[in-house]
A and B are shown apart, each in its own frame.
Chain A
Amino acid sequence: EPEVTQTPSHQVTQMGQEVILRCVPISNHLYFYWYRQILGQKVEFLVSFYNNEISEKSEIFDDQFSVERPDGSNFTLKIRSTKLEDSAMYFCASSEVFLNTGELFFGEGSRLTVL
């Protein structure tokens, strides 16, 4: 069964360092998303991406964040200068059609710990 894969599964970094989280969405999907979940809190929307540009972003997704689809398979989230409050589980998701059915396919997540 096709799945969304994310790397790394866990990354520990020092405050102020740059981090890149990588995702390989399902191959025929066209819409890509990043969500995050701080421990014990809700899953929160960060950004949606289609046709090589951002469709929508939340207030959390400030200038420190960026997304890119550098080739035909990868979708990355970059945090330029990490803060302690960026510690969370980051989930990549993809969908075949534009969210009409609500069916997002999520990866298993990348746990980011900022020290």
Chain B
Amino acid sequence: EDQVTQSPEALRLQEGESSSLNCSYTVSGLRGLFWYRQDPGKGPEFLFTLYSAGEEKEKERLKATLTKKESFLHITAPKPEDSATYLCAVQADSSASKIIFGSGTRLSIRP
């Protein structure tokens, strides 16, 4: 069964304190791994797609990386506006039209 596990569940950082969020996945043939951001009461907002091990993508203070078993979302010098839940999701070869989400990491940045 395809699965996505994210850790930690919650992370509190001081403004400027860099850290990483982890996403471990088990999938029967990875077509793509995705990161989304979700603010309270809103729908997920797309951040990145990664297709193959070794690939990296960057956007402002965020950088996503991918290995054969996991992905990391690195956040460098975060600001309070980066506070949100970050969702990892995968698309499997066996199921082309859906993505499977993890439970998310709730990130809180204190000023």
Q: Which residues of A contact B (CB under 8 A)?
A: 4, 31, 33, 41-45, 48, 50, 55-56, 58, 91, 93, 98-109
Tell me which residues across on chain B come within 8 A of A103, comparing CB atoms: 34, 46, 49
Q: Contact size class for B?
A: 20 to 34
Q: How far is the CB of A112 from chain B (nearest CB, A)?
A: 14
Q: Which residues of B contact A (CB under 8 A)?
A: 32-34, 38, 41-46, 49, 87, 89, 91, 95-104
B87 contacts A102, C-beta separation under 8 Å? no
Complex alpha-carbon distance, A99 and B90, angstroms: 11
Q: Which residue of B lies closest to A44 (CB)?
A: B101
Tell me which residues across on chain A come within 8 A of B101, comparing CB atoms: 42-44
Tell me which residues across on chain A come within 8 A of B100, comparing CB atoms: 45
B41 contacts A48, C-beta separation under 8 Å? no
B46 contacts A105, C-beta separation under 8 Å? yes
